[in-house]
Chain A
């Protein structure tokens, strides 16, 4: 159960688009279409942004989108806004009732 690999930081200017990668293995990301993404502000609980790889819960902006190719999942944020500055974590189901989170990515809006 090794953590999924994410870039430590990603930055962009307001209005730009950014992408956060999440690399796992054939035992987790590659085996299941069950990657989820979470946004977390300092001192707050995480918020679900994407589930089942590309589905958005009600209330989540359509500026957030998810995809997957092989062992790597991605979260894209378009039209970057100041409020998007936060930490983002991916998570994958890994079989047998287990899950694994990514290392986390700090998004900075320049």
Chain B
């Protein structure tokens, strides 16, 4: 079935780095834009980053710009998020999400979500 599985989270010291991965299955990954969205404990959703289906278009939240790199490998049906200079406020569940595509057009919404991977930044 259509599925997204995140991995790579864990406990990291302030100033450290992490590379999160999102493995897709059950659909043609290369046809869909993808995003990372995070949620701090007890808080709301925060969009983090976007990558188009062919990696030619990317967007990042201002709050993380300069510290994150989004990438994807369509041959491996996988997406990645590199986060550097981690801070306590980056502590959150990080979700990967598939962009809605209907009739070949992007609808700029997120229809499939992974279960999330927890990132904890603490000394």
Enumerate chain A interface residues (CB-CB to B < 8 A): 1, 3, 32, 34, 36, 38, 40, 45-48, 51-52, 55, 57, 89, 91, 93, 96-104
Q: B36-50 toward A: CB 8 Å interface, digit per residue (1/0)?
A: 010000001111001
Contacts of B44 in A (CB 8 A): 3, 89, 101-104
| Residue from the list B35, B63, B95 in contact with A45, Cβ < 8 A | B95
Chain B binding site: helix, strand, loop or mixed by DSSP? strand
Contacts of B52 in A (CB 8 A): 97
Pair B45/A34 contact, Cβ less than 8 Å: no
Contacts of A103 in B (CB 8 A): 44
Q: How many B residues touch the partner, as a band?
A: 20 to 34
Pair B50/A99 contact, Cβ less than 8 Å: yes
Q: List 20 A-B pairs, Cβ < 8 Å.
A: A1-B63, A32-B108, A45-B95, A45-B113, A46-B45, A46-B95, A47-B113, A48-B111, A51-B108, A51-B109, A55-B107, A97-B52, A97-B59, A98-B59, A98-B60, A99-B35, A101-B44, A102-B44, A104-B44, A104-B45
Q: How far does the alpha carbon of A89 sit from the alpha carbon of B109 in the complex, in Å?
A: 12
Contacts of A98 in B (CB 8 A): 47, 50, 59-61
